[in-house]
């Protein structure tokens, strides 16, 4: 294990503006490349320490359901109660064909539950791991992996809710070849949950208000994204507005395969764009500020 850090002016920059001003002329490209090496080491070690985050993710779930009889199947049960009753209520409220609407809503809710929980929990990724970060050196990306993995495990508990739907509504949805697209879909989502998670975890560790802001915004996004309602109910001249919502496209990565169809190329294009943006901004934040995270806690 070797750690080499040469004068890190980028780090100082956030600490003490005066120090930075004095030293500005000596900023050297070599120093920045040192920080980017350390960031890559963090990312690489985050992957090689998979045993730790897998264990922590597993323990997080176990901890929550300790001493309850159903254990983690409470996740499935509470999801089932929510989506089945919502499906019934909104199906009648919107006066839609339940054969279409019920599977659409349940699959959409499963996807949304994954996306929204990852987002809200990532805001606490570093704050919640304070006692680890301050006591032992582990890669920062490890705590981001931990939350994504935990939610993937939860998703695969929740997916059981779909089984009765496949059975009851077997005429309108099917398990077919397209269902397998869940796997690449999750790979893409994992990557994005990492990059956007890193951005959120860092921002929220530094600015504690952002965490609250994100939690309230995500509620609004839920209504703005076609989870409960189908985009088809919108007038045709308004539909383009919804297609600009990237949450919709990410949602489709899970919902479409669950309903036995492929996500459209349009959604894939939006996802690709968002993925590149996320990776770019995550690195822009992580490289210069990585070594400061511990001081924000």
Partner 1 sequence: MAMIDLNGVSIIFPVYNVSARSFKKDFLRMATGGSVVEDAKHRVVVHALQNISLSLRDGDRVGLIGHNGAGKSTLLRLLARIYEPALGYAKIEGRVSPMLDITHSMEDEFTGRENIAVRGAIFGLTHQEIQEKIAEIADFSGLGDYLSMPMRTYSSGMFVRLAFAIASCIEPDILLIDEVFGAGDADFMEKARKKMVTLLNQSNIVVMANHADDVIRQFCNKAVYLEGGQVKYFGDVNTAFELYKEEL
| Pick 34 or 174: Cβ nearer partner 1 | 34
Closest approach of partner 1 to the CB of residue 68, in Å: 12
Helix 29-48 crosses helix 265-289 at what angle (to 10 degrees)?
A: 120
What are the angstrom distances between the C-alpha of 183 and each of 53, 91, 103, 152, 251?
A: 21, 29, 20, 12, 14
The per-residue DSSP string of 177-227 comes to GGGGGHHHHHHHHHHHHHHHHHHHHHHHHH-HHHHHHHHHHHHHHHHHSTT
| Pick 36 or 291: Cβ nearer partner 1 | 291
**185, 155 Cβ separation under 8 angstroms:** no
| Pick 23 or 262: Cβ nearer partner 1 | 23
Q: Give the binding site for partner 1 (CB under 8 A).
A: 1-8, 11-12, 14-16, 19, 38, 51-52, 55-56, 59, 63, 66, 131-138, 206-210, 213, 291, 294-296
Q: Read off the DSSP letter of residue 176.
A: -
The per-residue DSSP string of 148-174 comes to HHHHHHHHHHHGGGHHHHHHHTTTT--
Cα–chain center distance at 2 = 32
Helix 182-206 crosses helix 265-289 at what angle (to 10 degrees)?
A: 40
Closest approach of partner 1 to the CB of residue 47, in Å: 15
Handedness of CA 107, 210, 245, 145 (dihedral sign): negative
Closest approach of partner 1 to the CB of residue 54, in Å: 9
Closest approach of partner 1 to the CB of residue 13, in Å: 10
| Pick 212 or 264: Cβ nearer partner 1 | 212
Name the nearest CA neighbour of 47 among 129, 131, 132, 148: 148
Closest approach of partner 1 to the CB of residue 99, in Å: 44
Task: Count Cβ atoms below 10 Å from residue 206 Cβ, excluding itself.
Answer: 17
Closest approach of partner 1 to the CB of residue 150, in Å: 14
| Pick 113 or 199: Cβ nearer partner 1 | 199
| Pick 186 or 296: Cβ nearer partner 1 | 296
Closest approach of partner 1 to the CB of residue 59, in Å: 6
| Pick 38 or 75: Cβ nearer partner 1 | 38
């Amino acid at each position: 294990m070797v750690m080499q850090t040469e004068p890190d002016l980028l780090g100082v920059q956030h600490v003490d503006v005066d120090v930075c001003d004095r030293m500005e002329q000596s900023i050297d490209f070599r120093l920045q490349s040192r920080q980017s090496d350390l960031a890559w080491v963090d990312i690489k070690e985050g992957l090689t320490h998979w045993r730790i985050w897998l264990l922590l993710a597993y323990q997080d779930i176990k901890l929550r359901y300790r001493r309850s009889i159903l254990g983690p199947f409470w996740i499935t049960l509470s999801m089932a109660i929510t989506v089945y009753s919502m499906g019934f209520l909104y199906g009648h409220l919107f006066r839609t064909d339940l054969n279409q609407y019920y599977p659409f809503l349940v699959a959409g809710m499963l996807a949304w539950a994954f996306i929204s929980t990852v987002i809200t929990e990532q805001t606490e990724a570093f704050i919640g791991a304070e006692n680890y970060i301050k006591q032992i050196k582990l890669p920062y990306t490890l705590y981001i992996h931990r939350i994504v993995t935990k939610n993937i495990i939860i998703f695969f508990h929740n997916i059981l809710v779909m089984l009765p739907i496949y059975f009851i509504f077997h005429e309108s949805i099917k398990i077919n070849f397209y269902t397998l697209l869940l796997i690449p879909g999750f790979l893409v989502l994992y990557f994005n949950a990492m990059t956007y998670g890193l951005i959120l975890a860092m921002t929220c560790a530094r600015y504690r208000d952002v965490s609250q802001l994100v939690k309230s915004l995500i509620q609004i996004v839920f209504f703005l994204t076609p989870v409960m309602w189908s985009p088809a109910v919108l007038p045709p001249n308004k539909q383009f507005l919804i297609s600009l919502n990237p949450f919709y496209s990410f949602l489709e990565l899970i919902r479409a395969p669950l309903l036995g169809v492929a996500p459209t190329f349009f959604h894939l294009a939006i996802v690709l764009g968002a993925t590149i943006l996320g990776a770019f901004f995550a690195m822009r934040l992580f490289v210069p500020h990585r070594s400061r995270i511990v001081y924000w806690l």
